[in-house]
Chains A and B, each alone.
Chain A
Amino acid sequence: MEATLLKALNEERAARRAALVITDLASGAQRLVREAGIDEETDAGHLRQILLSGKSRTEATDNGERFIEVHLPAAKFVIIGAVHISQALAPMAMATGFDVTVIDPRTAFATPERFAGINLIADWPEDVLPGVGLDRWCAFAAVTHDPKIDDAALAAALKAECFYVGALGSRKTHAKRLERLSALGIGADMQARIHAPIGLDIGAQSPSEIAVAVLAEAIAALRGRESKREARG
């Protein structure tokens, strides 16, 4: 590997941008493919699929074997609301490899006792989200039910193009939420990206089961498999 390629790769990683390194195993020839430049590749669809899978692999080509190394930024999961669902969702998301942050300004909810071992911030989302750094490799769930806490954060997550944006609440609640988001300047295209009612339709009842449904929906979005969400009441 050339030192310049290593440096360029580390720059992409530090900036939380996805990239591939493609190595011809016979010749040692190597190149960096940035995600932004993937469409210029002749096999762009194939490479994008490998990128989204997150799995490096060796494959045979007409010109011999090549190794494709995938570099994805570590996915974050930002949860607004230190509620019962979050107490299950946060550790489960950590177990599946997410860097998890829970944010809730209500100090009665955001206590270390309720969230042992979790990165917990007892403050208003709009004040602390710039420091947390929402981006495309970030999953986001707003679960407080309180517009004062959820709305601005939800708007920020949509603007930051978080790969998954979920919001708790019934269809009725969500319809009212969309009206408020419109007032905040969030257009229909962005609104359509919100997963609401939140979570895969697995008939979840308990807070832990809802957490499973939310996490599964976020993983499906991460791996490029947007789930078919059926109409629910």
Chain B
Amino acid sequence: MSMSSAESSQNDILAIAQSWLGEGRDVALATVIETWGSAPRPVGSHLVIDSGGAFMGSVSGGCVEGAVVTEAVDVIGSGKSKVLEFGVADETAWQVGLSCGGRIRVYVEKVS
């Protein structure tokens, strides 16, 4: 697949998702669908996750990826997509949250 330099190789999460599927891996895709405040990654940012917890890409500056990966493994199991929300303003802030003070919503779906 020929891509422009800005989207090439390890940054092209959608191409990676397709290639992981081609390898027979179970795959989920997480997408930032909304942000408030100083969110580290813009709307449309992707994280691709497999059932073993391997992932590529980012939906934040590393703050919430761990939690998203855990949820994504569940989504791969259930096949049911879900919307996650992270921010300092909610109770999850004590476990995982965005130190930057922003808030994000992340859509997690199985690719199959």
Residues of A within 8 A of B (CB): 1-3, 6-7, 9-10, 13-14, 16, 23, 25, 28, 55-58, 67, 69-70, 73-74, 76, 97, 99
B1 touches A14 (CB 8 A): yes
Q: How many residues of B contact A (CB 8 A)?
A: 27
A69 touches B4 (CB 8 A): no
Minimum distance in angstroms from B85 CB to a CB of chain A: 12
For the complex, what is the distance from the CA of A6 to the CA of B3, rounded to whole Å? 15
A74 touches B6 (CB 8 A): yes
Question: Which residues from 49 to 105 on chain B have a C-beta closer than 8 Å to any C-beta of chain A?
Answer: 80-81, 83, 105
Q: How many cross-chain pairs have Cβ atoms below 8 Å apart between A and B?
A: 63
B18 touches A99 (CB 8 A): no
With A6-B17, A14-B1, A73-B4 known as contacts, the answer to whether A56 contacts B44 (CB < 8 A) is yes
B18 touches A6 (CB 8 A): yes
Choice from A7, A28, A74 contacting B7 with Cβ under 8 Å: A74
Pick 15 A–B contacts, CB within 8 A, sort by A: A1-B29, A1-B109, A3-B21, A3-B112, A6-B21, A6-B111, A10-B1, A13-B14, A25-B33, A28-B80, A55-B43, A57-B34, A58-B43, A67-B31, A99-B6
Choice from B43, B105, B111 contacting A3 with Cβ under 8 Å: B111
Question: Which residues from 14 to 40 on chain B have a C-beta closer than 8 Å to any C-beta of chain A?
Answer: 14-15, 17-18, 21, 29, 31, 33-34
A70 touches B105 (CB 8 A): no
For the complex, what is the distance from the CA of A57 to the CA of B5, rounded to whole Å? 25
Interface of chain B: mostly helix, strand, loop or mixed:
mixed
B14 touches A74 (CB 8 A): no
B2 in the interface, Cβ–Cβ < 8 Å? yes
Chain A residues, CB < 8 A from B111: 1-3, 6
A97 touches B6 (CB 8 A): yes
Task: Identify 17 new A-B residue pairs, CB closer than 8 A, beyond the known A7-B18, A28-B81.
Answer: A1-B109, A6-B14, A6-B21, A6-B111, A10-B14, A13-B7, A14-B3, A23-B109, A25-B107, A28-B80, A56-B44, A57-B43, A67-B31, A67-B107, A69-B44, A70-B44, A73-B4
Chain B residues, CB < 8 A from A10: 1, 14-15, 18
